[in-house]
Amino acid sequence: MLDAETIDGSDDETEIDWDESIRLQVSELLCEYYDACEGGKINRTRHNRLRGVYPTIAYDEETCTHPVLIGISLPQLEGGAIFYRYDWHELPLSINQLLGSIQEKEGFPLEQAGQQFPPEELLFEARLALTVTQDDLDFAQEHGWPTLMRCVREGTRSTHRLASNCMGRYIIVNRRARRKERREARMQRDSNQDDKGDEPQC
């Protein structure tokens, strides 16, 4: 859905294409995942995946001014998800600085940045990371990615921290809800058209 070279915050003022950046970063990490499967570094998964790849991105308008991919969720039919992530030392300097400041606030030594907890957990805790769902994508297309991430930071939109652990179930429930909404909207439209048909003709 959304991979590119990881970018440290640069002074380049050109506006970044978030969709393209995230897509390129996801493609790169997905290739690494399949290479790890082929090389036997991780267990090859059974063919029980739902469609789609759900990225977890980090962003902070002050210290990390570009979207940085932290990991990808591959939803499973049984309800869970495979989460394949970058290790903390593979992430850009801007993210490592964020991890260090978050851990320091929690009382952990600065030199242990990213080592005590997975990077996404620290960034979720600070509301600086988001597992992107279809609803988030729709919101970003309408209002812009920085606005989406600002809403996450302010707490008016979910980080999907919990959903990322059971992405398969989350997707199935969401699909059912969307189907129900479409069905109800169609029934409402049909009802309105029938009512119009019953009106006396002049």
Supply the DSSP string of 66-117, one letter for each residue: EEEEEEEEEEBTTS-EEEEE--GGGS-HHHHHHHHHHHHHTT--GGGTTTSS
Q: What is the pLDDT of residue 115?
A: 66
Reported as a single tens digit per residue, the pLDDT across 53-75 is: 899 999 998 888 899 999 998 88
145 vs 15 pLDDT, higher one? 145
Name the pTM for this structure. Answer: 0.75
Sorted by where each begins, the domain ranges of the chain are 18-171
Least trusted range by pLDDT, from 16-20, 76-80, 85-89, 99-103: 76-80
